[in-house]
Structure 1
Amino acid sequence: MDRQLASSAAAQEATRRALLSRRSGEGPRIRFGTDRAGMTAAARSESLTIGAVSRPTRRIRSIIFDTAVDDLRKQNIQLRGYEMHGAAFVELSWERPSAPGARGSIELRVPTLDVGKMLGFSEPLRRSIADRPLEARSVAETERRERLVERAQTRIAVCFDDGFVECGGRRVNFHEIELQLIEGAEEEFWNVAAELAPRVRARFLPMSEAELALARATGEGVAPAKARRPTLAEGASLDEAIVAALSACLDQFVANWPALQYQAPEEAIHQMRVSLRRLRAGVGMLRRGVASEALETAAARAKEIAATLGAARNLDVLVDMLVAGPLAQANGEPSFYALLDAVERRRIEAHAAVAALIAAPRTTQFVVDLRAALAARNWRAQPGEDGRARLDASAPGSAKQFAIRSLDRLHRRALKKSRDLAALTPEQRHHARIAFKKARYAAEFFESLFDAHAKSRRYLRRTAALQDELGAINDLAVAAELLRDLGASDPDIAPASAFAVGWCAHAREGAATDWKKTEKSLKKLETFWR
């Protein structure tokens, strides 16, 4: 009996230490949103019950403080107070200027969450808000159940949160499950997440409901996220480069999910589409170095998701083009406004399809499965003609070897595709654009391996400019195809549609681009990797 009590006490103490350490930001974490049925299924799942130690249910009241004019938010500072077990704590976190995206934090126990008394603990905080009064911007009440799961020498902290958040006069109920790796293999952590997600029909949450509610209340929304270029050490292995490059693509994809819910989802859709293009280009480039069923599956899923994003993006571009081009010359003709209304209806449907796809469990599964594959380094070296591995992907310096070969090949292919650019058909120019896009993405993936900052910037700037020039021509071709389809589906807007198609054709022919001059500048383009 004494041994059992000692064992139980030791397990509870291990749980307490692990759940306290989760606040330090150690180890990857993931948050899922679900419903009551999903919470029940998760709590009963083998993934989170076998080898698990539970703690008593806790009730937590959490408050985000700021001034009425959002002084703290404008400085990327968050002041959160919370109460549990009759004790009060404050957590102050901020973005580190030296490391964008990384945050520092401190946490203190305080006698009370009374904002007047709480301000006394920090003179810098008072200065940052210019002595304006703090107020509660959002309040969340949570019933939290916690577990520590031990699996294959891996320890994972799990929180089951049921509650509500009130912010800006609006109340939202939530059911969230958060997992964080405390100790052990990252591969095992993501395997647990991948097993759990389909059983609870989970949706990945880049931000909690409390954070989203605060963004709604401030009216600022969530800004779309652009691509982040991976940073690699000069002696990095190809394995490390694969993880860094594809993780950056995945990070950009999920970071744009919250922005879909705000005033300008068009840019979020565009950035998600870019992230998946980069991911697919990366997997395609890697085929000459490694073989991976998991990466191929991820690329196929990315293509499916990108198709829905692309349909919405094309309609966004078409609306802008109609307003700036044909509609500006319509002189109030009603049929042109009817055409714009028809395009807008399709656009609304396309945006709804994107929102439904992002919320769908299969999209969360795509994210989790790819994270698991990257953590497991689920690939093998591609054999050469003699059956031996072309390159040891785990060897130090193998990333640079692979990068030089890949960049040489992609650059030569892009130049070949753009040869005699002025005489190419629109379809051939489109293929040239794709070739330069792949070369540019590869250059961004591997840029940090080479000590040639000025050269790399020139290379990326020029290839991006060419991509934009060719992209504008391609956008006109896509717009014309959409307009023909609209005109065929509704006789009332057919005349306006036909006029707009003609406008697109005229705009393509009258493009100011001097293709011969462009081709000449491309031949002088200096590479940075040799």
Structure 2
Amino acid sequence: MATETEIKLSLSARAASALAKQAMLSNIERQRQLLINTYYDTQDKRLRRERMVVRHRQKGRQWLLTVKTAPMLTAGLAQRSEWEVPSRPGEFDFSHIDGGVRDLLESLRDDLQPAFTTHFMRDTWLLEPHAGVRIELALDRGWIEARGQRQTIREIELELLAGEVGDLFELVAELQASLPLHPESSSKSERAYRLLADLPLTAVKALPVPTEAAMSRIGAFRLIALSCLNHLQNNEAGVCRSDDPEFVHQARVAIRRLRSAIRLWQPLLPEAFVARFDPLWHDLASKLGDTRNWDVFLAETLPALADAPSGRIEVERLLRHARRRGANSRKASRSALRSTAYSRLLIDFSAAVLALPDDAAGSLGGFVPRCLDKRAKRVKERAVAALGDDDVARHSLRVAFKQLRYAVEFFTPILAGPVLVNYHQSASGLQDLLGRLNDLAVASQLVAEAQAGSKDQGIAVWLAAQTDSLLPELASLLKDFQQQPLPWKAL
């Protein structure tokens, strides 16, 4: 078994044509070969569920049988187990595979059938940027074919043959200085399965993070941060190609979770790391936040204004204004995620996260209670002011509460138990209400902007009345939440 470590990057047709002209490749011989791959799975897609790949590759006159595990891609980086041996098409000899994987494949051997194919020309260069470092750069251009449909393949793969993961990221950064390269968020096989199922783009929520009490504190941060990047990248295409508001919402959630993790671990992180990256993520979140505000205003607030003491003409004027501002904001969000600055941020941040030195001072188990106590105390301190007539105080409470809830979610595998279930249910109700109050506060700001110079205050008065009507419920939910036993006290 070998461990394959590679970074995948997508690029435009123009950038692909320019790659061979890069100075770093000028004195290196290029190899070119046509690769035709047939991927196999069972009828019920068992291998996909197990996150495994089985394929036959035709490479000139040679045939290879390849088995890979299929971890999530983060900033284009994949590290996975790989087994590859000479074979013949249609034959499956798994005797060289390690125990558990081999047992599964042996049990499925008779049910394996062709699922889809990939067909591409591969240009490769063998790079040795430093002593002891060898990296294969491959440019793939061709297509995926599934269910009679084709999808273009145009990507770079940088495979680490000798050296450290940081050497891969250094090479990517050097390439990005002159070429628009974006970390690929899905493998060829993942894209093929979507094509095979003819699946529409759908927004992706955060997956549970498998933290463990025995983990090092920095090791846990690394796992959580990369998971947040994966969550963000899984919604990139939707933000750029769909008007469905949920894509922007999930992209914002991913960045908020990431920034919450940075703040949670800030005492343990290098000062330069926080100073460099937190402002960049904050800036991106702000661009997406404006789009999210107009989405909520159009989808939820404006329909409710039918009950407001204002004429139909005024509501229609607000609708036109909101649509125009929302469309402009969405263009800005798409530009942000298509920018070279964003592509470089993904690479630079991932490299910096992977380069963080592990701490030997203590395990995650001892770190969790102190962090959660601090965030629970902050929520309690801000709760009193939030019950008054102060939108800023309620926003401050909402921020503190989100930071607490995200932290609890990061540590859920460590905290599992009935106390956590009750705590989570109470927290969910409180977060929903804080979200509604925040939407009303934002709506008031947007209405004031749209009605600048107008004497009609009917809508503003109605929005204020809606806020006031929710404050008794906020007081009740806060009281219930603060009476819940803290699920980390048993640690």
The percent of aligned pairs where both chains have the same amino acid is: 22
Alpha-carbon separation, structure 1, partners of 2:115 and 2:214: 50
Out of 8, 15, 30, the residue aligned to residue 38 of structure 1 is 15
- 2:34 paired residue number: 59
Gaps of 5+ in 2: 72-77, 91-104
- 2:476 paired residue number: 517
- Given the alignment of the two structures, is residue 506 of structure 1 paired with residue 460 of structure 2, yes or no? no
- Given the alignment of the two structures, is residue 157 of structure 1 paired with residue 136 of structure 2, yes or no? yes
- Given the alignment of the two structures, is residue 144 of structure 1 paired with residue 123 of structure 2, yes or no? yes
Q: CA deviation at 1:182?
A: 4.0
Equivalent residues in 2 for 1:274-285, closer than 5 Å: 274-285=253-264
Distance 1:443 1:152, change over 3 A: farther
3-state SS of paired residue (2:407): helix
Indicate if the aligned counterparts of 1:163 and 1:175 stay in contact, CA closer than 8 A.
yes
- 1:244 paired residue number: 223
3-state SS of paired residue (1:528): coil
Indicate if the aligned counterparts of 1:295 and 1:370 stay in contact, CA closer than 8 A.
no
- 2:99 paired residue number: none
3-state SS of paired residue (1:199): coil
Alpha-carbon separation, structure 2, partners of 1:329 and 1:216: 47
- 1:195 paired residue number: 174
Letter in 2 for 1:30: I
Alpha-carbon separation, structure 1, partners of 2:330 and 2:179: 26
- Given the alignment of the two structures, is residue 225 of structure 1 paired with residue 229 of structure 2, yes or no? no
Alpha-carbon separation, structure 2, partners of 1:398 and 1:75: 34
TM-score w.r.t. the length of structure 2 is 0.78
RMSD (CA atoms)? 4.2
Alpha-carbon separation, structure 2, partners of 1:102 and 1:508: 50
- 1:409 paired residue number: 374
Out of 65, 68, 85, the residue aligned to residue 60 of structure 2 is 85
Alpha-carbon separation, structure 1, partners of 2:313 and 2:386: 40
Out of 480, 487, 490, the residue aligned to residue 444 of structure 2 is 480
- 2:384 paired residue number: 419
Indicate if the aligned counterparts of 1:72 and 1:128 stay in contact, CA closer than 8 A.
no
Q: Please, which moves more after superposition, 426-435 or 256-265?
A: 256-265
Count of residues in correspondence between the two structures = 468
1:256-278 CA-to-partner distances (Å, cap 9, x unmatched) read 22333565642221111111111
3-state SS of paired residue (1:30): strand
Alpha-carbon separation, structure 1, partners of 2:119 and 2:459: 52
Indicate if the aligned counterparts of 1:236 and 1:396 stay in contact, CA closer than 8 A.
no
1:116-146 CA-to-partner distances (Å, cap 9, x unmatched) read xxxxx999588699xxxx786x764334335
- 1:29 paired residue number: 6
Gaps of 5+ in 1: 1-20, 114-120, 379-392
Equivalent residues in 2 for 1:203-214, closer than 5 Å: 203-207=182-186, 212=191
Alpha-carbon separation, structure 1, partners of 2:56 and 2:328: 41
1:394-451 CA-to-partner distances (Å, cap 9, x unmatched) read 1153433333322221111111111365335222111111111112222223344x45
- 1:5 paired residue number: none
Distance 1:63 1:346, change over 3 A: farther
- 1:528 paired residue number: 487
Indicate if the aligned counterparts of 1:283 and 1:296 stay in contact, CA closer than 8 A.
no
1:121-172 CA-to-partner distances (Å, cap 9, x unmatched) read 999588699xxxx786x76433433536464534433211233557788876
Q: CA deviation at 1:282?
A: 1.9
Indicate if the aligned counterparts of 1:159 and 1:179 stay in contact, CA closer than 8 A.
yes
Indicate if the aligned counterparts of 1:415 and 1:522 stay in contact, CA closer than 8 A.
no
Q: CA deviation at 1:313?
A: 0.9
TM-score w.r.t. the length of structure 1 is 0.73
Distance 1:194 1:487, change over 3 A: same
Letter in 2 for 1:464: S
3-state SS of paired residue (1:31): strand
Alpha-carbon separation, structure 2, partners of 1:339 and 1:407: 42
Alpha-carbon separation, structure 1, partners of 2:146 and 2:387: 58
Indicate if the aligned counterparts of 1:142 and 1:164 stay in contact, CA closer than 8 A.
no
Indicate if the aligned counterparts of 2:217 and 2:367 stay in contact, CA closer than 8 A.
yes
Q: CA deviation at 1:184?
A: 3.6
Equivalent residues in 2 for 1:81-480, closer than 5 Å: 83-87=58-62, 140-147=119-126, 149=128, 151-164=130-143, 175-207=154-186, 212=191, 215=194, 218-260=197-239, 263=242, 265-322=244-301, 324-327=303-306, 333=312, 336-337=315-316, 339-377=318-356, 394-395=359-360, 397-419=362-384, 421-423=386-388, 425-448=390-413, 450=414, 452-480=416-444
Alpha-carbon separation, structure 1, partners of 2:47 and 2:389: 50
Alpha-carbon separation, structure 2, partners of 1:282 and 1:432: 18
